Every structure is written in C-alpha cells, then in structure tokens.
Amino acid sequence: MKFSSDLAEQLYGETPDEQSGSVEELGWFGLFKKEQAILTEDSQGFVDVEQFSTETDLNECWELLALSTTV
C-alpha cells in the first residue's frame, strides 16, 4: 500500500460506515462519518483520503461516488 497521509493509513485499518466500488474497477471508496472523510484505494494500491469541512459536503460527494460506482 502507498498511503498519501498518516490519516489515510489510520483509516485504512478501520471499518468504514459505508463502502462502494472495487479496486478492480473505478476504485474502492470508504465513508467515515465521524472523521467527515472519504478514503479511496485504486488498482495500484494508492490510498488517499479527503476530509470535508461540513457533513453536507461529505454527503454530496459520497452520493456522487456511490452513483458512479453502480452504473
């Protein structure tokens, strides 16, 4: 694994509240509500995290990601 930050590495070891996608396709996404963050992993093992300043922004982004991985 190649982690973009300490937070990405920490969250990778935890169970997300929700998850979507697959590393074999568009990528895997994990939603962490408490941290207001979305963790991503791609097919090459890169793990990144994005934190959001508001719950609304987090939920909007999550809904788009979840829709894009179920098409």
Task: Give φ, ψ of 7 to 5 degrees.
Answer: -65, -40
Assigned token pair, 23: 């590393």
Rounded-to-integer distance, Cα 6 and Cα 70, Å: 29
Assigned token pair, 19: 């998850």
Compute, in degrees rounded to 10, the torsion defined by CA atoms 22, 25, 30, 36: -170
Determine the 3-state secondary structure of 38 from DSSP. strand
In order along its 71 residues, the chain shows pLDDT tens digits of 799 999 999 999 999 999 998 888 778 999 999 999 999 999 999 999 999 999 999 999 999 988 877 65
Rounded-to-integer distance, Cα 25 and Cα 67, Å: 14
